[in-house]
Every structure is written in structure tokens, then in C-alpha cells.
């Protein structure tokens, strides 16, 4: 799955419940948007369709000059979708391809489609008045420098890469340390233990290309919904 997680001092939820609001461990609240298939989309394409587990090898032909210019689009709804559309009948699609496209175009479409779908949840958060200028990126997909670059430019924000890539397990251990009295608060624990190893800034020209592509992407699901 792919998740956006926003810690907030204020409770807030959008009218369509596209993002979920909960009590947070720090005593305040958090907003969460969760898509059901994220890095698993890339795993599915490579292992089940392309018959390979060489994820990095499949990305090597996706060079910088190809970013933002792919005419193949992918809806990453391989198990239905949760945030923000809440549609169990939604399905994955490839669209826009022709005889001119090749293997790497489909791999690129999957990487971009997942990033576009995460942006859908970002847009809901923005509609609630949340100004997102940077975020941390972790998990399996964050191991890919190419995917990190796509995310930074599709979202058009700075992305920080934490030293520890496993977010949930690490966070659970941190909460246990707070509960055991090692740290006085979640904030103190995070300041001490969450270390950023690198940051990735969006490129204005590439972000503009992805803005155009995202506007096309977000028109695909509404056009396909009745067919699902």
C-alpha cells in the first residue's frame, strides 16, 4: 500500500471522507490517505507480466529526458481503491499507448501512476487548508532513486529520505520507548531518533511537465468509472 500521513494539531475531515482522521499518539490528530496498491503495482508488473525481479534493471532505460513525457498512463487500482475514491470496483488500466511504445514506457507509467494517485490524496489535504511544502519518504519504493525523483516532481515538494526506511516498525518501537519513559514525548523521541540522510528538491521544469500529465491522469478514472 501507499500512505500519506499528516500529523496535525487540529481535527479535520473532508466532506467525502477521502482522507481518514484519527486521534494521534502525540495527543493531537492525524490525517491518513491510503491507496491499496503502490510498490506492489511495480512488483506485479515486473514479476507477473515481465517475469523478472530485477526492478532496478527495468528502470535503467528510463532516463531523465523521458520523465514527464510518457504518453502511457496507468491507473494503479489493482485491488480496488481506498483513498481518495473509496471504490472497491475500481480496476487498473493502461491507456494512451501505441506501436511506438516499449517495455520501459509501461514500467515508467506504473511508477508515475502510483505517484499521481498519491497526489490525489495530497490534493484532498490541500483542500482542507493544509500547506504541504515537504515530506519524508520511506518504504520499499523509496529505495529507487528514479521513483524518488518522480515523487518529488509529481508532488512538487521537497522530499527528505530518513536513515531508517522501515516506518511502521520503527515508529512502533519509538512509541514503546515513550511509553516506557525513555522519552518524555513523541516529539522528543522523533527529534532524537529520526535522522534524514538526504533531501530531494523538485525541478521547476519537470514539475511543470508533471502538472500537465497529472491533469490528464485525474480525468481517466471518472471517464472509466461506469465501465468498472
pLDDT of residue 69: 96
Using CA atoms, how far apart are residues 107 and 57, in angstroms rounded to an integer? Answer: 11
Dist CA 153 CA 138 (whole Å): 16
Q: Residue 129 pLDDT > 80, yes or no?
A: yes
SS3 78: strand
Residue 167 has pLDDT above 80, yes or no: no
The pLDDT, as a whole number, for residue 164 is 80
Query: Is residue 12 predicted with pLDDT exceeding 90?
Result: no
Q: What is the pTM of this model?
A: 0.94
| Residue 183: per-residue pLDDT | 97
C-alpha distance from residue 43 to each of 49, 59, 87 (Å): 9, 12, 22
Residues 117-123, mean pLDDT to the nearest whole number = 96
Mean pLDDT, residues 153-162 taken together: 96
Average pLDDT over residues 116-133: 94
User: Residue 169 — pLDDT band, cuts 50, 70, 90?
Assistant: confident
Mean per-residue pLDDT for 98-121?
97
Cβ distance 18 to 124 under 8 Å? yes
Q: How confident is the model at residue 168 (pLDDT cuts 50, 70, 90)?
A: confident
**What is the distance, to the nearest Å, from the Cα of residue 150 to the centroid of all Cα atoms in its chain?**
10
What is the pLDDT averaged over residues 139-156?
94
Helix axes 204-217, 145-155, angle to 10 degrees: 80
pLDDT for res 139: 86
Q: Is the pLDDT of residue 79 over 90?
A: yes
Instruction: HSE, CB side, 13 Å, CA atoms: give it for residue 188.
Output: 8
- Tens-digit pLDDT profile for residues 84-106: 999 999 999 999 999 999 999 99
220: exposed, middle or buried (C-beta count within 10 Å: 0-12, 13-18, 19+)? middle
How high is the pLDDT of residue 44?
Answer: 98
Alpha-carbon distance of 109 to 118, in angstroms, equals 14
The Cα 48–Cα 92 span in angstroms is 14
Whether residue 62 has pLDDT greater than 80? yes
Q: Percent of the chain beyond pLDDT 90?
A: 86
Calculate mean pLDDT across residues 114-123.
97
Amino acid at each position: 500500500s501507499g500512505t500519506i500521513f499528516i500529523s496535525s494539531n487540529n481535527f479535520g475531515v473532508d466532506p467525502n471522507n477521502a482522507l481518514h482522521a484519527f486521534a494521534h499518539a502525540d495527543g493531537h490528530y492525524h490525517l491518513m490517505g491510503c491507496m491499496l496498491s503502490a510498490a506492489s503495482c511495480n512488483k506485479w508488473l515486473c514479476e507477473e507480466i515481465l517475469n523478472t525481479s530485477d526492478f532496478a534493471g527495468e528502470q535503467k532505460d528510463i532516463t531523465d529526458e523521458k520523465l514527464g513525457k510518457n504518453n502511457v498512463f496507468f491507473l494503479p487500482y489493482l485491488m480496488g481503491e481506498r483513498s481518495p475514491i473509496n471504490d472497491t470496483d475500481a480496476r487498473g488500466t493502461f491507456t494512451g499507448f501505441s506501436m511506438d511504445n516499449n517495455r520501459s514506457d509501461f514500467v515508467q507509467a506504473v511508477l508515475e501512476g502510483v505517484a499521481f494517485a498519491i497526489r490525489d490524496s495530497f490534493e484532498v489535504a490541500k483542500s482542507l487548508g493544509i500547506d504541504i511544502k515537504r515530506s519524508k519518504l520511506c518504504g520499499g519504493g523509496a529505495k529507487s532513486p528514479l521513483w524518488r525523483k518522480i515523487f518529488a516532481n509529481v508532488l512538487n515538494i521537497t522530499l527528505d529520505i530518513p536513515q531508517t526506511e522501515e516506518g511502521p516498525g520503527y515508529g512502533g518501537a519509538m512509541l514503546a520507548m515513550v511509553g516506557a519513559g525513555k522519552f518524555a514525548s513523541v516529539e522528543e523521541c522523533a527529534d532524537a531518533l529520526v535522522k534524514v540522510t538526504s533531501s530531494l528538491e523538485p525541478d521547476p521544469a519537470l514539475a511543470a511537465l508533471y502538472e500537465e500529465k497529472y491533469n490528464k491522469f485525474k480525468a481517466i478514472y471518472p471517464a472509466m468509472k461506469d465501465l468498472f
